Structure 1
Amino acid sequence: MMRSLGKQTVRTHYQHIVAGVHDPEHDHTHETRQTVYERPDGTFQINYMSGKRFVMATNDGSFECVHVVQTVRSASGSTIMSVIAGAQSLAVNRLNAVIEFESGDRWIEIEDDETARLAAGLTQTAVGHFYHEEERLEGRHLRRWFVLVGPSEDLAVVGKVALFVLPPHETSVDPEVVDCHIAGYRNGNPYPEFAAEIEALAAATDLPITPNYMGDPVVTPPATGRTPGL
């Protein structure tokens, strides 16, 4: 029988293979908190989408694994990743925005599995997985989920911040899940860069979006000295 070790830090190291050649410039590491299970043979695994993924224990008490991303080129020379980026831009443009800023960034509410998968691809986080897990564990989507999308220097559109928040009238059946969780692109800290956008979303929705980074409170977000234009 497997033994649950509870929520642990799990780092997934993504290695990108483009046309059969390793491209280290696109490699990145995704860090999140997930439930780790110890198997009877002493190995460890996590739930990943609809399957399982093996992870290895590290010296600092966390766990890690490597995921290889294969990218091929089309006959025109474009990579499949560039084709996906174009499709993501079109998909985002069809979604209704909660708030739009002069910068081109806008908050989109995640209200279905398709939007959650899109948000996961744009933010390079596990937001799609956790959105799916919420319905499985809670029986419905009681939290509200948002993603801040907009242009970047390298991509046509990217997910800059993802967050969920539990409305005041809702009660979660899982005491391990925080009421509000905010993370930036590839799980980076969205503060102070996007503090103004997060505050604007809280004001517009009247939701208890408390400043935090992956559930840990940000007591005093550094002042950005700006107000995003609406």
Structure 2
Amino acid sequence: MTVEGDRAVRENSRKYSVLKKIARDYAGERVIVMGDMNAHVGMLGEQMNRNGEMLDEFVNEMNLENLNETLAEGRVTWCARNQESAIDYMLVNGRMREIVDSMWIDEDEMIDIVSDHNMLVLECKLNGRDGTNAKVKKKKWRLRDAGWENFQVDLSERRWEDEILNGVDELNDRFVENVKNAAASQIGYVRTSARKHKSRPWWNDEIRDARKKKKETE
């Protein structure tokens, strides 16, 4: 979302209108709304700003849950110039909440994402129809030592809007397509083989041990 100001209110109102349509159209599915909302809702003791009010109104109207407030381990999502803020959020609907195990914010910057924002991590359980863990074979992104700067440049240079696009659904499809293609080009996948092989993406034993030690000292 755009930062504060009269222009920001107008732009963000249009953006929330798009998000509301998507949330309504997919109300029967598992929905996650996440990103940099530039919204202060008082999580760090600060005064709620207009973006925070708009975020709160959106959450209540769409009957979503703000996991930053109800579940997350950690609060600070942005840190720069000796300042800290909570401006990035993860919102879920009821169906999505059913499979959420935990959420944490990388306040200690254990994962380098080449940004002044901290990574938000959502851990979910994926079950089959019979309640057992579903074995889904899918490609894994090579997130460890990923070229995030190249990814950002690649993503910014892709086509986003033209006269061919017609409506919110096509714009959303274009967004998903661009993100996937930029990631495939600049990040790539972890190689897998027929035999069992433990890959080492960004979530590894080093990060797991560091988080365990942090919890023990709290």
TM-score interval, smaller chain:
under 0.3
TM-score normalised to structure 1 length: 0.25
TM-score normalised to structure 2 length: 0.26
Q: Which has the higher helix share?
A: 2
